Amino acid sequence: MDTLVIDEKLHNLIRELEFKDAKEVIKDSLITEILYRVLKFSEDVERFEKKYNKNLLEFKKEYEAGMEDFKKYDDLMAWEFAQQGKDYWNKKLEELKCVL
């Protein structure tokens, strides 16, 4: 594992911003970035739920039972990607909470 060297100017800035230490800054930054990613994926999921007035599983079941529709297929792929991204980053957030 690499060691992070904090010079005096950076240390003073960390204190001025009212962080306890560099570890807290890193933790805060990681949580902020992960929450942003969860939010962006959640917005995509919500957009599809509103567009089709159903959840992903309902939409997928309906799509698979119907005639081939390339527009709906594209939406299904994008929706699944968004849901997987949301689930992945929520899991990473929980992991981060356990570690720190």
Structural domain spans, the chain: 31-99
pLDDT mean over 25-43: 96
- Global confidence as pTM: 0.83
- Give the H/E segment covering residue 42: helix 22-52
Cα separation, 56 vs 77, in Å, equals: 10
Environment class of 70 (CB within 10 Å of its CB; exposed 0-12, middle 13-18, buried 19+): exposed
Give which of 42, 49, 43, 48 is closest to 74, Cα–Cα. Answer: 48
Quick one: pLDDT band at residue 100, thresholds 50, 70, 90? low
pLDDT mean over 81-94: 97
| Cβ-proximal residues to 52 (8 Å cutoff; 6+ apart), any chain | 59, 75
